[in-house]
Amino acid sequence: MQTIEMITHPSQPDSDADKWAHCDECGERIAHNNIFITADGESICESCRDSKYSLCANCGEYVNNDDIAGTYDNAPLCQSCYEDDFFTCDGCGCIERNPDAHSLNDDWLCESCYDARAITCADCGDVIENPDDAYSACGNTVCESCLNENYYRCD
């Protein structure tokens, strides 16, 4: 992740010439109170910062547009936040926050994909992860435990 920070000079520059710098990207003159320093040590202006960097929607740090790991609600995420706080749904490919992840048959799913794939026992409400463990009894889909406890079989 490439970070960027704004630098300020709390003391007054000694001369008018000390009040200005030049952008390492475009060469424009920048006031010292509006210089942004990249992780590579380049001094850049606000316009170049805005064209090359975006704010991570999660941590608020600047990230190089080439290093954006993904988007959440159409806002960019840095690699670190993506790896720590988000996941990609194995069902539809959307990016969601980790607390919203559902695991089903070794897949990480968003809520809508989980709801579409999960089989729920009509009697106890438990999720039946393996479709082979779901049974039909009297028009209901039930788990093996409820089948044995609540339904009778004719031999």
Residues 112 and 144 in one domain: no
Residues of the domain holding 77: 71-117
Structure tokens at 111: 């809520």
Tell whether 63 is covered by a domain: no
Residues 125 and 106 in one domain: no
Q: Give the DSSP H or E segment for 85.
A: helix 79-85
**Residue-by-residue pLDDT tens, the chain, 155 positions:** 445 554 444 445 555 555 778 899 899 988 877 888 887 888 899 999 999 999 999 999 998 999 999 998 889 999 999 999 999 999 999 999 988 888 888 899 998 898 888 888 999 988 887 788 888 888 889 988 999 888 876 55
Tell whether 64 is covered by a domain: no
Give the global pTM. 0.60
